[in-house]
Amino acid sequence: MAARKRGVRRAAIRVLKLLARPVRRAQGRGGLVLEPYRGYGSRDEIFLIGRVFRQSHPDRAAGDDSLRAALRDTARRIARRTLPGARVTARFGGAEVQVETDADGYFRITLHPVALPAGEAGWHAVDLVLEAEPPVRARGQVFIPPAARGCVVVSDIDDTVMRTGVANKLRMLWRLFVEDAETRVAFPGVAALYRALYAGPDGTQANPMLYVSRAPWGLYEMLSEFFTIHGIPVGPVLFLREWGLSWRSPLPRRAEDHKRALIAHMLALYHDRPFVLIGDSGQHDPEVYGRIVAENPGRVSAVYIRNVSREAARIAEIERLAETVAAAGSRLVIAADSAAIAAHAAALGLIAPEAVAAVAAENAADGTPRRADATVAAPEDLGAVLASGGGTIPPSVVIDADRGGGTREAAHHARDRNSSGT
């Protein structure tokens, strides 16, 4: 009983500490905070988002992990006041812009640099100044890839990179608010796969890695820590909403699906690069990605969907995505694991061939059983192949326009093979 109470107490402190972030980082007088998030851009334009708010009371002493301190910090987080209309000036690459925060205290920087340091690419510092007395200064970061080559990788996070259990709401809430960054395990092989996609086939491409999530901005620091712990290339984490936690609004705001608009913006920004879209079958990724592919023919090299749901409605939506992808001349992989994605990505020249073995080894180290080969299927047969997978190991299926989408005979043969459990 005592051990259980200690476990509940630790879980409560974790929840409260998570809800309390980032209350410990006031930079200005009176608890004023200028908080930038990672941004992204090209040599012509950069994009950065952040927030300005005021938190009550001085920052607490480091190392105070008591339940009382966590409760105090959570109260400060809930009671903090956003600052609408605050003026933030950004300077980068010889250019300068001033913006105002919106009603929720968020600011959005779009800036056109005059020049960048010769030959430099990767992460760059953006100087930020909040008009206050005295002024509050901070430094944001934006990622600018090398000269046009390689691809842009856009990945969902929930149930794609990490096991949040979005398809299961109770499991999602437990993983979001109780388990910390170290214990929220990444999908097997995903770290090696994303490192390979970042490096490209020659190991030097430094491809933009852009992550989107249905989670609130309050999880930003925890997710960054999670990426670092698991060796996943960090990138801008583009959350889709702020949950609006306050005394007047104690429940999360209704989420709006901004993912398609975000990806459309990225397609315009990186207009000279092909895209790779990675998501899962549990929520709305197939619907969103289907529209992106249809509206941008020739821009998406491949769509990779992690197979986390066998519900009839989700299978039907994936089948529609397959038809859209095939019509656009692109490629779709419904993946049971990261190794299936890696094998297909190597065949497309997106990653180095030797990276496939690294992904497979990381995948195997988890001890999760997997099917050895992917099935090539026609779009009209995809639903039947997925539904007939049987057992606990879902099949991996490839819809590849370059191969004519597969043949009906091959799909039937694969379906029979999967039904037999081989």
83-99, pLDDT tens digit by residue?
Answer: 899 999 999 999 999 99
Q: What is the pLDDT of residues 301-311, one digit of tens each?
A: 999 998 876 66
Euclidean distance between CA atoms 87 and 100, whole angstroms: 5
Report residue 36 as tokens. 């930038």
Residue 323: pLDDT over 60: yes
User: Predicted confidence band at 146 (pLDDT cuts at 50, 70, 90)?
Assistant: confident
**Which of 66-94 are b and which e, b meaning 16 or more Cβ less than 10 Å from the residue's Cβ?**
eeebbebbbbbbeebebbeebebbbbbbe
pLDDT higher than 60, residue 64: no
Q: What percentage of the chain reaches a pLDDT higher than 90?
A: 32
pLDDT-derived band of residue 68, with 50, 70 and 90 as boundaries? Answer: low
Mean pLDDT of 251-277: 78
Report the C-alpha gap between 296 and 14 in whole angstroms: 43
Task: Classify domain 152-419 at the CATH superfamily level.
Answer: HAD superfamily/HAD-like (3.40.50.1000)
**Domain ranges within the chain, ordered by starting residue:** 2-144, 152-419
Residue 274 — very low, low, confident or very high, per pLDDT cuts 50/70/90? very high
Q: What is the mean pLDDT of residues 394-398?
A: 79
DSSP symbols for 164-229: --TTSHHHHHHHHHTS-TTTSPBPTTHHHHHHHHHH-TTS-----EEEEEEEEGGGHHHHHHHHHH
CA distance 375 to 413: 9
β-pairing verdict for 397-400 and 331-335: antiparallel
Query: Out of 25-29, 85-89, 205-209, 353-357, which region has the weakest mean confidence (pLDDT)?
Result: 25-29
Mean pLDDT (whole number) for 277-290: 85
**pLDDT bucket at 266, cuts 50 / 70 / 90:** very high
Cis before 117 (ω within 30): no
The partner residues of 5 in beta bridges, in order of sequence, read none
pLDDT of residue 253: 43
Question: Can you give the pTM of this predicted structure?
Answer: 0.78
| 9 touches 3 (CB < 8 A) | no
The residue with greater pLDDT, 79 or 39, is 39
Residue 415 pLDDT: 37
Whether 24 contacts 37, CB under 8 Å: no
Least confident of 66-80, 351-365, 371-385, 386-400: 66-80
- The residue-averaged pLDDT of 205-216 equals 85
pLDDT in tens, 4-36: 666 556 655 555 555 555 545 556 667 788 989
Q: Which residue has the tokens 């005394």?
A: 247
Three-class SS string for 71-135?
A: HHHHHHHHHCEECCCCEEEEEECCEEEEEECCCCCEEEEEECCCCCCCCCCEEEEEEEEECCCCC
- What confidence tier does 412 reach under pLDDT thresholds 50, 70, 90? very low
Mean pLDDT of the chain: 76
> Over 80: is that where the pLDDT of 100 sits?
yes
Q: Contact 52/73 with Cβ under 8 angstroms?
A: no
Nearest to 208 by CA among 262, 289, 287: 262
Contact, 64 vs 58, CB < 8 A?
Answer: no
Segment 101-124 shows an average pLDDT of 86
Q: Look at residue 381 in the predicted model and tell me its pLDDT.
A: 76
Ranked by mean pLDDT, the top range of 5-9, 73-77, 303-307, 416-420 is 303-307
pLDDT of res. 257? 61
pLDDT at 49 over 50: yes
Please name the residue that has the structure tokens 């959005």. 108
